[in-house]
Amino acid sequence: MSTTPLIHLDAAQVRQARSLAKRAGAPVVKIAKNHTTVSVERATLRLAGLTGADHEGQPWVNHLVDAVRGQVGLEHGVTTPVYDALRRGVAPDLLTLAQQSASGSVSFRLPEGGRELATTQRTARAQVARGIRAIDAQRAARDRLIRRHGNPKQTPWIYLIVATGDIDEDIPQAQAAAREGADVIAVIRSTGQSLLDFVPEGATHEGFAGTYATQENFRLMRAALDETSREVGRYVRLTNYASGLCMPEIATLAGLERLDMMLNDSMYGILFRDINPIRTFVDQRFSRQIHARAGIIINTGEDNYLTTADAVDAAHTVTVSQLLNEYFAKEAGLADWQLGLGHAFEINPEVPESFRLELAHALLARTLFPDAPLKWMPPTKHMTGDVFRGYLLDGFFNLAGTMTGQGILLVGMMTEAVVTPFLSDRDLALQNVRYVLDAAGGLREDFHPPRDGFIQTRARHVLGEAVDLLDRITTDGLLNAIADGTFGLMKRPADHGKGLEGVVTKAPGYDNPAVTLLETGATR
C-alpha cells in the first residue's frame, strides 16, 4: 500500500501527533488491562467450545457466566471456577455444566490449594487453546485460498453492502454482487443488535434493516462466497460488525468462521449507541487481539462523526480519532495492513471548493497512514433523494478515491436515504465505480497538487488542528474529552451508558487463558 506521498507534511509534527495519541490513549489501555467484562468472559468460554442456547434463545454461555458471577464473581476470571467444577466431576462437559447452572443446581468455588489451582488453570488453558488453534487454521485457510484464487487486480477494493434481514436472501444478493465486481461483501447487522447483551444462535430470517450477526450466518455466507471466489477467480472477502455489547464474542465467532474484515471502532459504540466507555474500551482491546490473531482487517468508524458534525469544521476530529484508533490497534497487536481506518466524502456539495477540500482530507489520511488500507466512505448526509444528483456525487466520490489511493471503497448508492437499495441500484452503482476506475485508475501517477497550493495548505491546517486537540486531550484525559462531546458532538460520561453493570475490576490472581495465549502468541 505504501507509495510516494502526494503531499508534504512536517515530519516532526507527524511524530508529535503520534506521540500525543499514545499519551492520550495509554491511560485508557491501563484501564482496559485492569478490567474484564461479561462479554470478554463469554468469548473465552466460546473459544473453549461452548455453543448453543436454551429453548428461549438465551445462549448457554450467558447462563454459565451469569451463574459464576452470581456465586463467586468474575474478578478472578470465569474459567477458574468453571474448570474447577468440571475437575470435581460436577458435570461431564462444558455444555452440561452450563445447562445445570441455568437451573441453579451447580455450586461454584475458587480452588484454594496451589496444586488444585494450577491443575484447573492448566486444563482451562488447554481447552481455550483449541479455539485459538481453530482461528489459526482459518487464517491459514484464507492464505491458501488467496494464493489459489488471487486478490483483486486493482485497488481500491470495491466494498458493497448487503442487508435484507434474511440470510437466505443475503446469500444470492452477495454472490450476484461479487459476480458484478464487488471485492468485499459487508452484511449489515440488524438494527439494535449492538444493544443486545447476547449473541443470537443459528440462521436468522427476521432482521430489521440488516441481518443478525450469528455464528451460523457467518458460516453460511463464508461458504457461499468461497463458492463464488472459485467461480470469479479472486478471493471475495466478507465483512460484519464487531461492535456493541457483544464485541468480543462476535470478534471470536468471526475468527472461527474466517471473516476477513470487521467493523471495529474504539469509540463508535460509545458515541452512537451510548454504550459505557469503560465497557467499550475493555471489549475493543480483547476483540482487536482476536482480530490480530485471525488476520482480520478492522474498519473504523470515523465517517460517522461527519454525519452529526460539520465535515469541514470537524475534519481534525477525524484525524485525531484515526491516530487514536491506530494506537489502540497496534497496542493490541494489529499490523498496518489490518488498519482500515475510516474517513468519508461528507462535505456539503454547496460549499465552495468542496471537491478540493475532500481531496485535501483524503490525502492527509493517505499520507499519515501510508501502509494502511484506508476505508473511504461515500456521501450520505447530503443525499437529497434526487437520484441523478446522488449518482453524480458518487462519481465524484469514486474519483477522489482513486486519485488519492484509498484502499477500500464503499460503493455509494444514488438511492441512499430514499429506500433500501434494489439489486438494480447496486448494479448501477457498480457501473459507476467501474467506469471511474477504468477511466482514471492511473490518475494518481499524474496528480501532484502544488506544495503551497489550496489542497496541501488545507491538509497541513487540519493536521495542525488535530495536534492542538490531541494536546488538550492529553491534559484533560480522553474519557473527559468523550464526556465533553469532542467527537461527533456526542457527550458520553465514563460513569454512564449501557453495559456498565457488565464491567468487573480484576482481582490479584485473575486468570484468562485466552488473553494469555493472545498476548504471548502461544498455541497451547
CA-based radius of gyration for the chain: 23
pLDDT of residue 4: 58
Using CA atoms, how far residue 19 sits from 26, 32, 270, 300, in Å, is 11, 20, 24, 20
Least confident of 86-95, 301-310, 355-364: 301-310
User: Coil, strand or helix: which one is 274?
Assistant: coil
pLDDT of residue 373: 95
Asked whether residue 10 carries a pLDDT value surpassing 60, the answer given is yes
Phi, psi of 237 (to 5 degrees): -90, 155
Alpha-carbon gap, residue 300 to 287, rounded angstroms:
13
Q: Which residues of 204-222 are buried (b: 16+ CB within 10 A; e: fewer)?
A: beebeebbbbbbbbbebbb
Cβ pair 286, 519 in contact under 8 A:
no
pLDDT of residue 419: 72
pLDDT of residue 5: 64
The position carrying cell 497487536 is 333
Alpha-carbon gap, residue 320 to 464, rounded angstroms:
11
pLDDT digits (tens, 9 = 90+) for 158-213: 999 998 999 999 999 999 999 999 999 999 999 899 999 999 999 999 998 899 99
Asked whether residue 114 carries a pLDDT value surpassing 90, the answer given is no
Question: Which residues lie below 8 Å from residue 110, measured CB to CB, with a gap of 6+?
Answer: 72, 76, 80, 81, 84
DSSP 189: P
Question: Which residues lie below 8 Å from residue 184, measured CB to CB, with a gap of 6+?
Answer: 157, 158, 159, 160, 236, 237, 238, 239, 260, 261, 408
pLDDT of residue 3: 53
Domains observed in the chain: 156-457 (3.20.20.440)
Span 505-524, average pLDDT: 95
pLDDT of residue 487: 83
pLDDT digits (tens, 9 = 90+) for 239-284: 999 999 999 999 999 999 999 999 998 788 998 899 999 999 999 9
Asked whether residue 33 carries a pLDDT value surpassing 80, the answer given is yes
Alpha-carbon gap, residue 433 to 406, rounded angstroms:
13
Q: Which residues are catalytic?
A: 268, 303, 375
In the chain, the percentage of residues whose pLDDT exceeds 90 is 88
Span 352-377, average pLDDT: 97
Q: Which three cell numbers stand for residue 300?
A: 473504523
pLDDT of residue 304: 82
Asked whether residue 344 carries a pLDDT value surpassing 80, the answer given is yes
pLDDT digits (tens, 9 = 90+) for 215-246: 999 999 999 999 999 999 999 999 999 999 99
Mean predicted lDDT score pLDDT of the chain:
95
pLDDT digits (tens, 9 = 90+) for 434-454: 999 999 999 999 999 999 999
In the chain, the percentage of residues whose pLDDT exceeds 70 is 99
pLDDT of residue 451: 93
Question: Which residues lie below 8 Å from residue 119, measured CB to CB, with a gap of 6+?
Answer: 87
Alpha-carbon gap, residue 461 to 502, rounded angstroms:
42
Q: CA-CA-CA-CA torsion for 278, 266, 220, 46, nearest 10 degrees?
A: -30
pTM for the structure as a whole: 0.95
pLDDT digits (tens, 9 = 90+) for 389-420: 999 999 999 999 999 999 999 999 998 777 77
Nearest to 278 by CA among 110, 499, 429: 499
Asked whether residue 2 carries a pLDDT value surpassing 60, the answer given is no
